[in-house]
Amino acid sequence: MQLTKQHETIIKNGIDRLIGMGAEYVDARFLTDDNSESLVIYDGNLESNSTEFQSGLGVRVLYNGAYGFSATSKIDNFEECFKMAFENAKAASLLVKLPLSMGEKKPAGKFFYESPVAKDPFDIPLKEKIDFLYEIDNQFKEDFIFKKMVYANFQKKNAYFFNSEGIFVDRKLTNVFGNMTIMGIDKAGEMQRRSHELFTFGNQTRGYELLTNPNHFSSHAIRIKSELEQLLQADDLEYGKRSIILLPGQGFLQVHETIGHPLELDRILGYELSYAGGSFVNLDSFGKLKYGSDKLTVTAFGGFANSPGSFGYDDEGSPERNYKLIDKGLLVNCLTSRAMIDEANKRAGREVFKESGGASRATAFYRAPIDRMTNVNIEPGEDGSLEDIISNTEDGIVLDNPTSWSIGSNREHFHFACEIAWEVKNGKKTRILKNPTYQGHTVEFYNSLSAVGDKSTWRVEQVSNCGKGEPNQVMQLGHGIPVIKFDNVITGERK
Ligand SMILES: [Zn+2]
C-alpha cells in the first residue's frame, strides 16, 4: 500500500485535533506494509514457509505529563485511534508523580531513509529461494550429521512517521537473515553443534544478494562441517583460569548482553525490572565508571549501510547518531530516546544526557516505542590480526558461537557456553576442545580486555531476535565486533 494524500490528511488532522484538545505532544506511525517471510529447511524437508503481512497506525500522545498509546489496523478507525490514545493519556495522567515531556522541541522537516538494496528479496521467486537453501542443505548429507537446519528470513517495511512538531519521516527498510546449524553425537554420547549466521561488513547493500554472496554465507558450510567432525572426537575443555579470544560470532553476544542491554536508558530507569531485569549502571555512573580497559571503545552507530540496526530515523523521528558509549574504558553515554532522557535528567536533577541517541524503536505499528540497541560496536584496535593475537597468547582458548547464556538480572555477571574452542599454547593453536564455557563479572571482565584486533578481524554480526518490553517486542539490530582477548578468565566447569 502507498501512503495517499487522504491518509496524510486524516493523520495530520488527528494530530492537530489532539493538540487543540490540550495534548502537549502527539506522534503517529503508519506502517503501510510490514512484510516478513521465513523459510526453514529442517533435516532435508521444507519445514516452514511462512509469510506475514501487517499494516496499521500507532498513535502516542503526551497529556499532562503522561503518555497514552493506541493502534489500529483498520483505516476506517484512524480517527477513533487518535481519540483512544488521548483517552489513555488522560487516564494515565491521573496517576502521574513525575510529569514527563519530550524535552526541547525539534525543528520541523521532511526526511527520507532507504536501506540500500540491489535485489529485493520479495521479488525473488519462492522456488529460487528454496533451491538456494537446499543447495546448502545438500552439503550436510554426512553420516556424522544427526540434525541439520538451514534458515532464511526476509523483512521489508514502509514506515511513515508524523509528529506535532511538523516532523515527517518516510522510511523503506529491508533486512535479510540467514543461519545454518548442524549437530552430531560425540564420542561421549553428547550432542555437539556448529552454526553460521549471515554477517556483513557494514558497507555493502543488504538485499537478497547479501544471502547469496558465498563469502557471507554458503561457503561457510564446508568449514562448519569440518569443525563439527573434529568436535565429535574432541576432549572437554578443562576447568581453569586462562586467556580467552572471542571471535565476532561470540563477541557480539558478549557485547549485546553485558554492554548493550545494561546501557539502555529505560532499563537503567527500571522499566524492565519485571521482565528482563535492571542494570548495574545508574545515572551517577556516566563520566565516572571505568567499564573496561583503555582498549575498550564502544560506539552506538546507525551509519552502517547494511545492518538491521541502521534505520536512519528512530520511531520518535530522531536521526540515528554515531556516538561513543564507552571511551577508552570510561562510560560516557548510553542508548537513549527523547522521552527517556527527559525523565532521566529530571530524576537526576541535572543534565546527564543532552540529546536523543535515536534509539527509540517499536517492533510493529501496534507497539509503543521503547529504548533499543541500534548498532552497538567495539571499535577495531591496534593488536593486529587474529594470528597476531594468538601468537601473543601463552595459555588460552579461541571461542566461537554461543550455545547458552545466563546473565545476572542487572547484567553484573554472566556465564556463556560456546560451540567450539581452539586451544592456544605458547602462541600456537593446538587442538579443538568441546563444551567450552566461561564466566565473569562484567566490569572486572572488560577491565581484563588485553587485545583488540584490527579492521581485518572486524565484522557486523546481525541479531534478528532481541526480546524486550511487555508485551514483548522482538527487534533486529547489529554489532560491529573485532576479535577481542581477555585475560585471567574462569573457563570450563569444575568436575
Ligand atoms: Zn537482546
pTM: 0.97
Cell 519485571 sits on residue: 274
| pLDDT tops 80 at residue 302 | no
Buried b (16+ CB within 10 A) or exposed e, 112-135: ebebebebebbebeeeebbebbee
| pLDDT tops 90 at residue 2 | no
Interacting residues of 140 by C-beta distance below 8 A, sequence separation 6+:
148, 150, 180, 182, 221, 225
CA atoms within a 13 Å half-sphere pointing along the CA-CB vector of 92: 20
CA of 95 to the centre of ligand 1 (A): 31
Q: Which pLDDT does position 201 carry in this prediction? A: 95
CA of 36 to the centre of ligand 1 (A): 20
Residue range 435-449, pLDDT digits in tens: 999 999 999 999 999
CA of 487 to the centre of ligand 1 (A): 26
CA of 112 to the centre of ligand 1 (A): 27
Asked if 485 contacts 244 with a C-beta cutoff of 8 angstroms, the reply is yes
pLDDT > 70 in the chain, percent: 100
CA of 260 to the centre of ligand 1 (A): 8
Residue range 376-417, pLDDT digits in tens: 999 999 999 999 999 999 999 999 999 999 999 999 999 999
Q: Which pLDDT does position 303 carry in this prediction? A: 82
Q: Which pLDDT does position 305 carry in this prediction? A: 86
Buried b (16+ CB within 10 A) or exposed e, 313-340: bbbbbbebbebbbbbebbbbbbbbbbbb
- Cα separation, 393 vs 22, in Å, equals 65
CA of 297 to the centre of ligand 1 (A): 20
Q: Which pLDDT does position 161 carry in this prediction? A: 98
- Cα 95 to Cα 88, 89, 341, distances in angstroms: 12, 10, 21
CA of 459 to the centre of ligand 1 (A): 19
- In this structure, the number of other CB atoms found within 10 A of the CB of residue 200 comes to 23
CA of 467 to the centre of ligand 1 (A): 5
Residue 10: helix, strand or coil by DSSP? helix
CA of 63 to the centre of ligand 1 (A): 31
CA of 316 to the centre of ligand 1 (A): 21
CA of 339 to the centre of ligand 1 (A): 21
Residue 150's DSSP bridge partners are 41, 180
Residue range 152-169, pLDDT digits in tens: 999 999 999 999 999 999
CA atoms within a 13 Å half-sphere pointing along the CA-CB vector of 321: 17
CA of 273 to the centre of ligand 1 (A): 15
CA of 279 to the centre of ligand 1 (A): 13
